Structure 1
Amino acid sequence: MSVEIKVPILPESVSEATVATWHKQVGDAVKVDENIVDIETEKVVLEVPSTVDGVITEIRVEEGATVGEQDIIAIIEEGAAASAAPASTAPASAESASTQAPAVDSSNDDAAANDDDADKLSPAVRKMLAESNLSAEAVKGTGKNGRILKEDVQNHLKTATSDSKASATPSSPTAKTAQAGERGERRVPMTRLRATIARRLKEAQDTQAMLTTFNDVNLQAVINLRSQYKELFEKKHGTRLGFMSFFVKAAIEALKRFPAVNASIDGNDIVYHDFYDVGIAASSPRGLVVPVMRDVDQMSFADVEKSIGAYGQKAKDGKLTMDDLVGGTFTVSNGGVFGSMLSTPIVNPPQSAILGMHRIEERPIAENGEVVIRPMMYLALTYDHRIIDGKESVLFLRTIKECLEDPARLLLEL
């Protein structure tokens, strides 16, 4: 029985998506709940699993194509065996089905692996080969029945690049000249996530009166506290004690004192939020994402550390859901993990402010009339001046500084 594989129900406010990566091809056997394709929306990547055991007989949508909710993207023959798949391929490959069938049991045959029959190549692979000026015979296929995968082309190009660099020695002026003369360029369409990030950041600049104020903080007390309790903390809570939990908890204390920083503008109204949902800006393979921790004022240091760790892993694995990303009343961005000394982060609408952290650097400062070396960090608060006054922004940042330089304030709420 033929089973249709459809685009899943898309998150609210998302009308279309892009086919990102096919993990299976025509003729491949699949099991129920096995992921066969990734669908990229404006915010998250959705996995589309198989609903039955069987063989993919037709793929209707190429990688990079735009699809809508419940569009049919593939057909699976339920209960079919992989060896029978070539006889049931999509109409586009019907002409080559009879020639491919004998090659099913010869996956180790180099000739079959490098067959230049276009029907054995996915659209993405054909495009990569064309852009790289490569023939199918030049690439070793590692897929089923010797099929060439995108990874095979990428690995071939990496190997070729490495060999080219190795041969370009000082004693080889010809190779150096060839490298110096290369002026290639590549045109790659934006992913839907990257395009959305670009649009939202530009909208923020166009609609908000953004201003950034700075301060620096001496983290010696935080470092001493971590050094004293990090082993006991990890043993008891099962997670390491990092810097982020201190900054998040300090931000919560400051948000309580200055409600406008936790508010947002809706038309001509100011919406004050009596809850504290903090977004943590994180880098993922597909771009910037901001998963949101809910009700952070009710969380302990350990809860914050565990939540940040879990979201970070989900971002790396591409497992974040729409629920993980919506909402948020304030954002913390840590550019210091990449070595940033100073920055002016952009507010994540409809929020009104974002806190920027930077690298910790030992610097000389005056302390009790003496010059001493202390671990210092620059802090930046970008805020919407339409709703937050300069005085509030400066005092907000100073509150964070005071809480971090004397962490006991966080416990005593001083």
Structure 2
Amino acid sequence: MTTEVRVPTLGESVTEATVATWFKKPGDPVAVDEMLCELETDKVTVEVPSPTTGKLGDIVAAEGETVGVDALLATIAPATEAGSEQPEERPAESKKSAPDEDEEDADSDSGASVDVMVPTLGESVSEATVSTWFKKVGDTVAQDEMLCELETDKVSVEVPSPAAGTLSEIVADEGETVEASAKLAVISSGDGAKSAPAKSGAKSDAKTEAAPAPSSDTSGKDVENAPSAEKLMAEKGIDPATVKGTGRDGRIMKEDVQKAIASPSQPKTSEAAEPASTPRAPVPADDVAREERVKMTRLRQTIARRLKDAQNAAAILTTYNEVDMTEIMALRGEYKELFEKKHGVKLGFMSFFTKACCHALREVPEVNAEIDGTDIVYKNFVHIGIAAGTPQGLVVPVIRDVDAMSFAEIEKSIAEKGKRARDGKLSMAEMQGGTFTISNGGVYGSLMSSPILNPPQSGILGMHKIQDRPMVVNGEIKIRPMMYLALSYDHRIVDGKGAVTFLVRVKEALEDPRRLLMDL
């Protein structure tokens, strides 16, 4: 009996991942908990262990493919059954199949065909749209080579070939909507697949003979890149020769293209490479389109709809205040060197804001609660998510039981989580279970914004840049370092009075840090 290897839970708000690397190939023996492959999301890298001992059977999701939560990655056959599997015997069979035995083998091989089915689309997803076919009828395909890409309401799914052979029929054309487990195409496999293109002429023969070349060339030049990478390079006008591939045999992955796009030198390389590789005739100025209309993908349509649904489901409201940072900056300036010398970590502003929020959450517990159906769940602990910017995007690691931590412990946790986030080493568990979130847009220069709630949380505090402004202090105009604060909250559970009280308590604690020490 075979065991299925599926995509594990990827974390709160993460619905898809890309298969980055397979550490095993079909037929390899595997032990329980041995790492089979590595997935990459927009936040972290996830290793997928083997759920049992046996031999790796079919790899359903190849490197570079985008998969959803619970999607099928591969199968594992028991060790007792794996020994009798075909992959190890097929080479011997092919050697026995001499030219004069073709007629005998035709009954078993030449007529063999394999259906290409819609893969597992994920929980609650019942249909998908065929967005792109990477192959056409008559093309020779290798096992696990990408055939087409599907788009669902949640993710994009690349469909690999289940067998080596020739694409003999496309059942679902581009733009067609297909149900889960529907047939997409037919692959003619075995010796019949090799002879099928011969009927259409010498051009097909040449294509068939050239097919094995990519797998034998490890220079990286003829290795087929991930379809998602090819698509992105085409969209951005990037020459593949300028992108360094990190996949197997130098294969270019989607992440490699994203890194190339982020590279400052990439635009110049792309601009220089494009005319050489794709010369274009001059276009008269009058003919240059001033607008470009592109149909939204189903994924983008769903994102847009769900963002609006989130705003419709929760009664999101934002209240603002401002805080004078004079006292905190003076305190930090006086003790930062001594603090770092003793605790081995720098004294930042985040520990002050975190402490201030913990004090305010005790007084206004509904900001630290969540709605579950018709119930309000109050939390007697504080798990605060601290937003951190990384090369892959914004992630929100959670610091647990932060209300019981000292300033030094908070700063150490923030520094450690931030480093792990930038290195892509955060686990899914480290980004789940938050009860409140702090987002610091000030590091990017934001003066004021309205942060969006992270359901099921009922509150999020937005910090902004510190800016010197004239303020009236004791009847005199003085220049003070001021910061705008924004609290977005779910008005279904948090009343205006509670939200304003929370923000005022945060302001009071920050403007007089002694209140934090005396728990006031």
Compute the TM-score of the two structures, normalised by the length of structure 2.
0.60
What's the offset of the Cα at 1:23?
3.1
User: Against the structure 1 CA distance between its residues 195 and 31, is the aligned structure 2 distance closer, same or farther, given a 3 Å change threshold?
Assistant: farther
- The within-5 A match list for 1:287-306 is 287-306=393-412
Are positions 1:6 and 2:112 aligned together?
no
Confirm whether residue 123 of structure 1 aligns to residue 122 of structure 2. Answer: no
Q: Is the 8 A contact 2:5 2:50 kept in 1?
A: no
**Do structure 1's residue 92 and structure 2's residue 135 form an aligned pair?**
no
CA distance in 1, matches of 2:266, 2:44: 34
Aligned partner of 2:252 among 140, 146, 149:
149
Q: Secondary structure at the match of 2:381?
A: coil
Preserved contact between residue 364 and residue 498 of structure 2 (Cα < 8 Å): yes
What is residue 46 of structure 1 aligned with on the other side? Answer: 46
* CA–CA distance in structure 1, aligned partners of residues 466 and 359 of structure 2: 22
- 2:70 is aligned to 68
State the partner residue of 2:325.
219
Moved more, 205-214 or 319-328: 319-328
* Cα deviation code 1:236-276 (max 9, x no counterpart): 11111110100010111111122222222333333322222
Q: Which residue of 2 aligns with 1:348?
A: 454
Gaps of 5+ in 2: 83-87, 93-141, 144-162, 166-189, 195-207, 274-280
Equivalent residue of 1:364, what SS?
Answer: strand
User: How far apart are 1:377 and its partner, in Å?
Assistant: 0.2
In the alignment, what sits opposite 2:316?
A: 210
Instruction: Classify 1:12/1:73 alpha carbon distance in 2 versus 1 (closer, same or farther; 3 Å).
Output: same
Look up the SS of the partner of 1:68 in the other structure. coil
CA contact (8 A) 2:57 2:74 kept: no
Task: Give CA deviations for 1:306-334 in whole Å, capped at 9, x if unaligned.
Answer: 21222223333333333222222222111
Query: Kindly tell me: are residues 392 and 102 of structure 1, through their superposed partners in 2, closer, same or farther at Cα, counting changes over 3 Å?
Result: closer
TM-score (normalised: structure 1) = 0.73
* Greater RCO, 1 or 2 (C-alpha within 8 Å, sep 6+): 1
Rounded to whole Å, the distance in 2 between the matches of 1:11 and 1:307 is 22
Q: How many equivalent pairs are there?
A: 388
Alpha-carbon contact 1:204-1:348 (below 8 Å) kept: no
Q: 1:376 to 1:31 in 2, by over 3 A?
A: farther
3-state DSSP of counterpart to 1:23: strand
After superposition, the Cα gap between the structure-2 partners of 1:36 and 1:404, relative to the gap in structure 1 and judged at 3 Å, is same
Unpaired segments of 5 or more residues in structure 1? 79-83, 168-173
Deviations 1:19-59 (A, max 9, x none): 51433599899999677431549x8652236899xxx9975
How has the CA–CA distance of structure 1 residues 342 and 189 changed in structure 2, closer, same or farther, with 3 Å as cutoff? same
CA distance, structure 1, for counterparts of residue 272 and residue 465 of structure 2: 36
SS of 2:317's equivalent in the other structure is strand
Q: Does 1:383 align with 2:489?
A: yes
Say whether the 8 Å CA contact 2:21–2:37 is kept in structure 1: yes
Matched with 1:23 is 21
Shift, 1:358, TM fit: 0.6
Q: Mark the CA change 1:363 to 1:6 in structure 2 (over 3 Å): closer, same or farther.
A: same
| C-alpha contact (below 8 Å) 2:438/2:462 kept by paired residues | yes
Identify if the C-alpha distance between structure 1 residues 67 and 346 changes in structure 2 by more than 3 Å, giving closer, same or farther: closer
Q: Conserved in 2, the CA contact under 8 Å of 1:17 and 1:67?
A: yes
Q: Percent identity?
A: 44
What SS does the corresponding residue of 2:455 show, helix, strand or coil?
coil
Query: Which deviations, in whole Å up to 9, do the C-alpha atoms of 1:318-375 show, x marking residues without a partner?
Result: 3333322222222211111111111111222222222111110111111122111111
Tell me: CA distance 1:181–1:66, structure 2 relative to 1, closer, same or farther (3 Å): same
CA contact under 8 A between 1:60 and 1:74: conserved in structure 2? Answer: no
Partner residue, 1:171: none
Larger deviation, residues 26-35 vs 373-382: 26-35
Query: What is the alpha-carbon root mean square deviation over aligned residues?
Result: 5.0
Q: For residues 145 and 379 of structure 1, what CA distance do their matches in structure 2 show?
A: 48
| Distance of 1:200 and 1:365 partners within structure 2 | 42
Kindly indicate which of the two structures has a greater share of residues assigned to helix.
Answer: 1
Q: Identify if the C-alpha distance between structure 1 residues 330 and 121 changes in structure 2 by more than 3 Å, giving closer, same or farther.
A: closer
Structure 1 CA distance, aligned partners of 2:12 and 2:483? 39
Distance 1:350 1:153 in 2: 34
CA–CA separation in structure 1 for the residues paired with 2:330 and 2:283: 52
For 2:358 and 2:498, the matched residues in 1 are separated by 15
- 1:146 is displaced (CA, Å) by 6.3
C-alpha contact (below 8 Å) 2:386/2:396 kept by paired residues: yes
Question: Residue 240 of structure 1 aligns to which amino acid in structure 2?
Answer: K
**CA 1:74/1:36 → structure 2, altered by over 3 Å: closer, same or farther?**
farther
In the alignment, is residue 255 of structure 1 matched against residue 254 of structure 2? no
Residue 70 of structure 1: how far off its partner (Å): 5.6
* In 1: Cα distance, 2:323 partner to 2:243 partner: 55
Read off the aligned partner of 2:312 and give its amino acid letter. Answer: D
Contact map agreement 1:347 1:383 (CA 8 A) in 2 = yes
